[in-house]
């Protein structure tokens, strides 16, 4: 049997809302780390054709600049899109039981909603857009050479 060349792909994308208050921490060497959970809703119809919602809670770990950026610009309830890789880690809990945790190690975290923080120069996405009526051009159509 020939050797199978299997690509090594570990890419995860999850959207949802942050479920916990964010607390930026630092390792003893000063590296920023942020752990948070994203709630992802899946809608489906049950046997009686009624819409239901199933929520999955996904643990995320962000490091360095990504951790600092999320802590600075997001909060509990923020809608985000997390891109990263899936990792498992094992530990022994206080009852001496082996536990395994699956986490997304975030490469990037995109904010899916934009709310200005005290900057009057920016407009809230929920606010109405300014009028988009065409303005009168100073040049008449007959003056255009083409």
The model's pLDDT over 25-40, given as tens digits with 9 standing for 90+, comes to: 999 999 999 999 999 9
Nearest to 84 by CA among 55, 102, 64, 109: 109
**DSSP assignments along 124-141, one per residue:** -TTSPPPP-PPPPPSS-G
Q: What is the mean pLDDT of residues 80-105?
A: 96
The answer to whether position 106 is within a domain reads yes
The answer to whether position 141 is within a domain reads no
Going by C-beta distance under 8 Å and a sequence separation of 6 or more, which residues neighbour residue 67? Answer: 24, 32, 33, 34
The enclosing domain of 109 has a CATH number of 2.40.50.140
Distance CA 11, CA 16 (A): 17
The answer to whether position 35 is within a domain reads yes
The answer to whether position 22 is within a domain reads yes
pTM surpassing 0.85? Answer: no
Band (pLDDT 50/70/90 cuts) for residue 7 is confident
Percent of the chain whose pLDDT exceeds 90: 71
The answer to whether position 41 is within a domain reads yes
Which 3 state secondary structure label does DSSP give 84? Answer: strand
**What is the separation of C-alpha 137 from the centre of its chain, rounded to a whole number of angstroms?**
43
The answer to whether position 31 is within a domain reads yes
The answer to whether position 81 is within a domain reads yes
What pLDDT, on the 0 to 100 scale, is given for residue 2?
Answer: 67
Q: Where are the alpha helices (DSSP H) in 3-113?
A: 64-73
Band (pLDDT 50/70/90 cuts) for residue 116 is low
**DSSP assignments along 102-122, one per residue:** EEEEEEEEEESS---SS-TTS
Q: Dihedral angle at the C-alpha atoms of 108, 110, 115, 120, nearest 10 degrees?
A: 60
Number of domains in the chain: 1
Containing structural domain, residue 83 = 12-116
What pLDDT, on the 0 to 100 scale, is given for residue 118?
Answer: 58
pLDDT tens, residue by residue, 71-88 = 999 999 999 999 999 999
């Amino acid at each position: 049997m020939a050797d199978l060349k299997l690509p090594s792909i570990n890419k995860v994308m999850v959207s949802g809302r942050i479920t916990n208050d964010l607390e930026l921490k630092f390792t003893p060497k000063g590296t920023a780390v942020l752990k948070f959970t994203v709630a992802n809703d899946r809608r489906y119809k049950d046997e009686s054709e009624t819409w239901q919602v199933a929520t999955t809670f996904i643990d995320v770990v962000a490091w360095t600049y990504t951790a600092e950026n999320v802590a600075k610009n997001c909060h509990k309830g923020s809608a985000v899109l997390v891109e990263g890789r899936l990792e498992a880690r094992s530990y022994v809990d206080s009852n001496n039981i082996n536990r395994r945790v699956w986490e997304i190690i975030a490469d990037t975290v995109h904010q899916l909603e934009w709310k200005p923080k005290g900057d009057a120069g920016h407009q809230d996405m929920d606010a109405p857009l300014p009028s988009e009526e065409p303005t009168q051009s100073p040049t008449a159509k007959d003056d255009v050479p083409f």
